[in-house]
Amino acid sequence: HIKDSSTDQVAFFNEDMEKRLLRQDKIVKVLREVIEGKDTESFYLEFQPKLDLMKDKIIGFEALARLRIENLGQVAPDEFIALAEEKLLIYDVGNHILLRACDFLKRLQDEGFHETSVAVNISGIQLLREDFVENLQQKLFSSEKVKKPLEFEVTETVLLDHFSQINETLEAIKKMDIAISLDDFGTGYSSFSRLAELHIDTIKIDRFFIDKISHTAEKDLIISDVISMAHKIGLSVVAEGVEDERQKAYLQKYGCDIIQGYLLSKPLPEESAINFLRRYESDLQQ
């Protein structure tokens, strides 16, 4: 009997694909149950602190979505957010994330941290929806569940094809007194002239560039130029993915406003985030 390798390959491919589809079905099912409030275990947020270098103060946290599913373990946000976008669940998932982030803001304020902000990542798909702002104003803000100081992080990629539509939405968001950061800056194609037109407050320089600080001669790094150009057009600068002292020292030297990364802390569960903040504040007083 001669083995037919082509059928073998097909069988292998099918098995692989089936596994992938089963995994996706499971994730989508869990996300639906989360949105409907039937599953309160699998989905949660973690919070990563942001440090203001000038003030040596934790000025806020970024909320990062987490999903842990039985038999699948931890599912990365890059996977389940993309899936939520594909299945058009992102609007409901996004609202859920925003409300959970506001629960954390409430907790911060109950603990006496009234100025600490929370940043929420907003998917481009959410921003592109015509009624994004209306939904915010009518469903969320009027419910008094939404707290401030709140910030939205949006990525550059969505701007490429929809610059003016997105910019109008950003303007409306800013009118609601929500700050806006351009996330993963440098990975897209924003020019500085375009950047000046955008209704944003901050750029977050992507980890890719911060990583370069560790193995590039200082004179060859352009981050310092990016920082000063951003400042010239009135934007503040956050560095994401700061992992070592050398990166921090460089960023401090060139006037980067805020850093975030494992050097300071990984994203933390709510309780640990509050403790981190308390500890940081009390260390300052000593």
Regarding 151 and contact with ligand C2E (CB under 6 A), the answer is no
The sign of the torsion formed by the CA atoms of 128, 124, 96, 280 equals: negative
Torsion 11-13-14-15 (CA) sign? positive
Cα dist. 8→4, 5, 18 in Å? 6, 5, 15
Q: Is residue 67 classed exposed, middle or buried when 0-12, 13-18 and 19+ CB atoms within 10 A define those classes?
A: buried
**How far apart are alpha carbons 179 and 34 in whole angstroms?**
27
What mask, x for binding Mg ion by CB under 5 A, covers residues 95 to 134? --------------------------x-------------
In the 8-state DSSP scheme, what is residue 269? -
The residue range among 27-35, 115-123, 129-137, 224-232 that interacts with ligand C2E, by the rule CB under 6 A, is 115-123
- Closest CB to ligand C2E among 149 and 261? 261
Q: Binders of Mg ion among 168-187, rule CB under 5 A?
A: 183-184
Euclidean distance between CA atoms 165 and 163, whole angstroms: 6
Residue 205 contacts residue 223 (beta carbons within 8 Å): yes
By CB under 6 A, is residue 121 in contact with ligand C2E? yes
Size of the site for ligand C2E (CB under 6 A): 23
CB of 243 to ligand C2E, least distance (A): 5
CA distance linking residue 216 with residue 250, whole number of Å:
12
Query: Residue 265: which of ligand C2E, Mg ion, none does it interact with, CB under 5 to 8 A by kind?
Result: none
Task: Tell me the backbone φ, ψ of residue 47, rounded to 5 degrees.
Answer: -130, 125
Which part of the chain contacts ligand C2E (CB under 6 A), choosing from 3-11, 107-115, 120-128, 131-139?
Answer: 120-128
Near ligand C2E by CB under 6 A, which window of 62-70, 188-196, 217-225, 229-237? 62-70
Part of the chain binding ligand C2E (CB under 6 A), chosen from 12-20, 28-36, 119-127, 144-152: 119-127
Question: Quick check: 64 binds ligand C2E (CB under 6 A)?
Answer: yes
Write out the residues near ligand C2E by the rule CB under 6 A. Answer: 48, 63-65, 76-78, 81, 97, 121-123, 153, 183-184, 207, 240-243, 261-262, 267
